[in-house]
Amino acid sequence: MSELPPDVPRLTTLVIYLREELRRAEQALTAAEERDALIARRRPPPEPPAWLIERGIGASRLPARVHKGDCWDTRSRCAPASPEQIRALLVQGVPACIHCRADTALGVLE
The answer to whether 51 touches 81, Cβ cutoff 8 Å, is yes
| Alpha-carbon dihedral sign for residues 68, 71, 74, 78 | positive
pLDDT tens digits along 65-105: 999 999 988 878 899 999 999 999 999 999 999 999 999 98
Higher pLDDT, 74 or 110: 74
23 pLDDT more than 90: yes
Can you give the pTM of this predicted structure?
0.58
| 81 Cβ contact partners less than 8 Å away, ≥ 6 residues apart | 49, 51, 52, 53, 66, 89
pLDDT at 76: 80
| 94 Cβ contact partners less than 8 Å away, ≥ 6 residues apart | 63, 64, 65, 66
Q: What is the DSSP letter of 49?
A: P
